[in-house]
Amino acid sequence: MSELEPPVSVIVTSHGRGRLLPRLLEALLSQKPQPLEIIVVVDEPAPGLLESLPESERIRLIVRPKRMGKVSALNEALSVSHGTAIVFLDDDVEVRDPGFIGKVAAALEEADIVDIKKVVAGRGLLSGLVYVEYLGFNLASMLLARVAGRSPAVNGAAFAARRRLVEALGGFSPVVYEDLDFATRAFLLGARYGYLGETCVLNQAPGSWREWYRQRKRWGLGAALWIRDYFRPLLHAFLEFPHVAAASLVTALPSLATTVLVMLVDKGYAVKLAYLALLLASTTMTQLLPVASLISINLHVAALAARAALLAAITALLSIPYLVAARVLGVKSRMLLYPVYFFVYQPLWFTMLLGGMFRAYLLGVEEAEDWVVPRRYK
């Protein structure tokens, strides 16, 4: 493949301090083959950020003094891009493979939209748990790509698409869940879906549990709105590939299975009612979500601790896909974290998802507190 065949545009959106933006741009400039162009859109740059960015004729920097949102940034970058293949990257990912661009371009020769392997970097309990979570995400994406060749979802931190698909979709829609919306509309057009596991980006986990909470609160609302807006096509996709869809869903969200099981085996009706009541109350007081999460974790631990054999069996069963994912992806399994992941982290995350659904469906909430979604953009 020659340097410009196919020509690849890289689009990076950023806000504030830019997180890993300088390091990411340095890595992109050292690629062989090099991208045709790197378009960076920065909203409200923090002091010193712009001075820390590398200078190159391949970098087109668009600085916006006000925060206008990721959707607006993506569409503005697309309007000035020229590549027939487009790579979308967040500013908190890291690229270490010097052949990253070439491998993405090669993957797009076989697919219209490609999800890229993501490995979580960082130390500490939270980073370790998010690392395990992304093993499930990667395996789910791989299953959908290899068996179905189509997918209604993509992880927006790092993915790529052919320009003709992007133009057919009209770019990104002004919604909280812009990556899922993009992928679902591509799915409805019959776009071929691929998963690139021969290279990867390194993702940074949220720096604190408070930051994780804010992120997942937005993700929960976005997922709820996605399901609401695309319920029929999502149901059709599930019925078209039931085994793949079910396996992918449980792998990406094992708490869906464990929560149903715990609710069936646990006799503490008062505790379960308190959990549901807190979820309902969280629609107007989101501060109650952590309390509801603690009740969910308590239900999991209490119900399964009293049934040691069941606990061991569930842990072993749920661990299999994560061990397989680690082996196939060529990364560490971090299996010592699995019990904490299945029975503490996942119930916490599942409660956040349910809270998002309650807010979306009961109150009609469509905007996240920490996310700018323009109603009109260029």
Q: How many residues does the chain have?
A: 378
What CATH class is the domain 8-207? alpha beta
pLDDT at 2 > cutoff 50: no
Residue 373, pLDDT score: 82
Q: Give pLDDT tens digits for 351-373.
A: 888 888 888 888 888 888 778 88
pLDDT at 109 > cutoff 90: yes
Residue 106, pLDDT score: 95
Q: Give pLDDT tens digits for 69-82.
A: 999 999 999 999 99
* Average pLDDT of the residues of the chain: 87
Phi, psi of 191 (to 5 degrees): -65, 140
Token code pair at residue 331 = 């990364």
**Contact yes or no for 27/95 (Cβ under 8 A):** yes
Token code pair at residue 237 = 């996709």
Which residue carries 């009740």 as its tokens?
295
Residue 88, pLDDT score: 98
pLDDT at 316 > cutoff 50: yes
Interatomic CA distance for residues 252 and 262, integer angstroms: 19
pTM above 0.85, yes or no: yes
Sign of CA dihedral 319, 96, 177, 196: negative
pLDDT at 227 > cutoff 60: yes
Residue 8, pLDDT score: 95
Q: Would you call the peptide bond into 65 cis, given omega within 30 degrees of 0 as the criterion?
A: no
pLDDT at 377 > cutoff 50: no
Interatomic CA distance for residues 198 and 200, integer angstroms: 7
Residue 274, pLDDT score: 61
Token code pair at residue 75 = 């569409």
* H-helix or E-strand spanning residue 272: helix 269-281
Strand arrangement, sheet containing 8-15: 59-64, 37-43, 8-15, 85-90, 158-162, 113-121, 193-204, 93-94
Average pLDDT rounded to a whole number, residues 332-346: 90
pLDDT band at 225 (very low <50, low <70, confident <90, very high): very high
Where along the chain do its domains lie? 8-207, 236-363
Average pLDDT rounded to a whole number, residues 28-36: 94
Q: Give pLDDT tens digits for 250-277.
A: 788 887 777 776 666 666 666 666 666 6
Q: Give pLDDT tens digits for 167-219.
A: 999 999 999 999 999 999 999 999 999 999 999 999 999 989 999 989 998 99
Q: What percentage of the chain has pLDDT greater than the value 70?
A: 84
pLDDT at 343 > cutoff 70: yes
- The torsion defined by the Cα of 174, 178, 184 and 189, in degrees rounded to 10, comes to 60
Average pLDDT rounded to a whole number, residues 84-106: 96
